[in-house]
Amino acid sequence: MKQLIFILLMFNMTFLNAMTKKADINVIDDWEYNATKAMDSRDRNAPTKALLGGKPMVMASPAMMPKKLGLSVGGAKDTNNFKANIENGYLPKLDSITYEGQFYNHYFDTGLGGKECKQLFCPSYSSAKRKNIFSDEKEYFLSVGLNSGIDTKDFKRKKLNLVVVLDISGSMGSSFDTYYYDKNGNKVENKEKQNKKKITIATESIVTMLSHLKDDDRVGIILFDHNAYLAKPLREVSKSDKEAIKKHILELKEQGGTNWSAGYKEALKLFDKIDLNKDYENRIVFLTDAMPNSGELRKDRLFGMAKKASKKGIHTTFIGIGVDFNTDLVEYVSKTKGANYFSVHSSDEFKKRLDKEFDYMVTPLVYDLVLKLDSKKYEIDAVYGSPEANLATGEIMKVNTLFPSSSENGKTKGGIILLKLKKIADGDDDIKLKVSYSDVNGKSYSNEQSAKFKKKDTYYDNTGIRKAILVSDYVTIMKNWLIDARAGCNDNVKWIMQEYPVIMKRCMIFPPKRPIYPTVKTWERKSCKLKVSEGYKKLFQTFKKYYISEMKAIGDESLQKELDIINLLLQQKSEAFDTKTHDDWQFVQQ
């Protein structure tokens, strides 16, 4: 009897092994990159033609989500690079902090007020009036709440054609918390590597990202240094050996120079081999420590190609690695339709974000949003919370893309755009607001509503608009501080004395309207030591008192994040600025 049982067990094990092998017969390790060969070659063979097809396998959504989706604008999805630079003792770049990026750190009451949204996009409007603490001027605000009628249980992203492009150049071997180049443009050797290499954080982030793909998604991988290399052809996930691919990714090492355009161009070649139909979302995820110069904005270079690709329905997500990530140039391209970008602070934090937001990150829902304001008494003075803010006129506000966003307790993550209005005539009137937009299939929609300011001198319709005003104040002050603090470091900015009475008058100016505004002219971004003048310290102290008061009135503990940064800046040792000497070198070698 025992012998019979043993024979049956052996038979079952043999049968199961045979079935497993049979099931895996179409799963291959399709990794093609050879690091040794790449280092020995200036060129490479054309990429292998993608193997497509196969029966798709549907995977269930992993997360329990609230009933309704919210919406948020494209562009920056965090301000991690701003925070990381300050924490490591560096002056951040100007666009490392953006209004939309800071808004996306918070949840907002969108002002829907219990009304039911039954459409793809339902704007809601709230108003507020206040007296500015620095200028003593009366200010008028309208917020645009970004609501959607899509139930989260009904939300399902399209199948995905995903091409990951990874920077493996020498700078990716430096530590996350140091600059690869110092102020004089010399390479920094990291003798004390207390932090992870940038390439380690990048590869770990890619592995996390790939774990969120479904079997009927397609994924390809391109690597680049001074050349570009096909690492993995665009193929259905179910056809590739996932564990082998992940192992190959984690084994990647940094090498060579940097050619961003070559990497992006090779990614586009993979899309040439497939039919760009409406059943798939087509996206390039570009991971880099991004220190390109403004030449990359040309039509035939990286960011120019990204804009051109968006018109074909191929959208781009930029993911910045390291404190030296050049946010200024990436912020420029984030105005492109369907584009967004993230700054990875750590691979663990990025993993947590992707667990909740991967499907949102790769799924634009609303395109070409235009808000037209019709009023004889007011006009748009500034827009906070949109990459296209500088395109606004007195009547028009434009937003290229809205992405899905999570909602909790009736509030939406980043779900608000704030308009500051300018009073141009006495009296009040009904402000007519007309919104037009299109969905991903090109179908057009419109919505008309009206709003009116109350007669009170100071009021807020809800905590959502009050919170948005406070967060935008914080961003405005930080941007104006950076414009002044970076003078004489990297950017070509006319020097200004930083006495308290002077900066108090301009600290709340909408940065694009400042007469002195820096231009990005550096090649690879060089470090600037973190410094806070006495004048700005006094300003931060004044703003801190106001901020704490508003934070208590709003009753939102998430606002502590901004307060922590203010406190960190106040702890900096004051440094006297040299008003006689500054770096006035203007030549930039292209």
Structural domain containing residue 249: 30-60+158-360
Residues 283 and 331 reside in one and the same domain: yes
Considering 298, 325, 360, which residue would you say is the last residue of a domain? 360
CA contacts within 13 A on the Cβ side of 396 = 11
The pTM of the full predicted model, rounded to 2 decimals, is 0.85
Whether the Cβ atoms of residue 252 and residue 222 lie closer than 8 Å to each other: no
Separation CA 101–CA 506 (nearest Å): 23
Within a domain: residue 130?
A: yes
Cα 469 to Cα 421: distance, rounded to the nearest angstrom? 13
Q: Which residue has the tokens 């003075």?
A: 381
Contact 490, 518 (CB under 8 A): no
CA 249 – CA 219 distance, rounded (Å): 13
> Are 78 and 38 in a shared domain?
no
Is 286 domain-assigned?
Answer: yes
DSSP code string of 191-214:
SS--S-BHHHHHHHHHHHHHTT--
And the tokens for 321?
A: 């690695």
- H or E segment to which residue 271 belongs: helix 260-271
Look at the alpha carbons of 405, 310, 94, 418 in this order and tell me if their dihedral is positive or negative.
Answer: negative
Q: Are 483 and 514 in contact (CB under 8 A)?
A: yes
Per-residue pLDDT of the chain (590 residues; tens, 9 = 90+): 555 555 555 545 544 444 444 445 578 888 888 766 665 544 433 332 322 222 322 333 434 434 789 999 999 999 999 999 999 999 998 889 999 999 999 999 999 988 889 999 999 999 999 999 998 999 999 999 999 999 988 899 999 999 999 999 999 999 998 888 665 555 555 444 457 899 999 999 999 999 999 999 999 999 999 999 999 999 999 999 999 999 999 999 999 988 999 999 999 999 998 988 888 999 999 999 877 666 676 778 888 899 999 999 999 999 999 998 888 777 777 788 999 999 998 889 899 999 999 999 999 999 999 999 999 999 999 999 998 887 788 889 999 999 999 998 889 999 999 999 999 999 988 999 999 999 998 999 999 999 999 999 999 999 999 999 999 999 999 999 998 888 756 554 444 445 666 677 778 888 888 766 555 444 456 788 898 988 899 999 999 999 999 999 999 999 999 999 999 999 987 655 444 444 444 444 43
288 shares its domain with 371: no
Question: Could you tell me if residue 354 is left (phi over 0), alpha (psi between -120 and 50 degrees) or otherwise beta?
Answer: alpha
Which of 109, 78, 107, 99 is CA-nearest to residue 414? 107
Domain stops at, among 329, 360, 391:
360
Instruction: Sheet containing 411-413: give its strands across.
Output: 107-108, 411-413, 407-408
Number of domains in the chain: 3
Residue 206: inside a domain, yes or no? yes
Helix 260-271 with 302-311: angle, nearest 10 deg: 20
User: How many CA within 13 A on the CB side of residue 158?
Assistant: 17
CATH code for the domain in which residue 399 is found: 2.60.40
Q: How far apart are CA 406 and CA 131, in angstroms?
A: 33
- CB 249, CB 221: distance < 8 Å: yes
Contact 72, 405 (CB under 8 A): yes
536 and 429 part of one domain = no
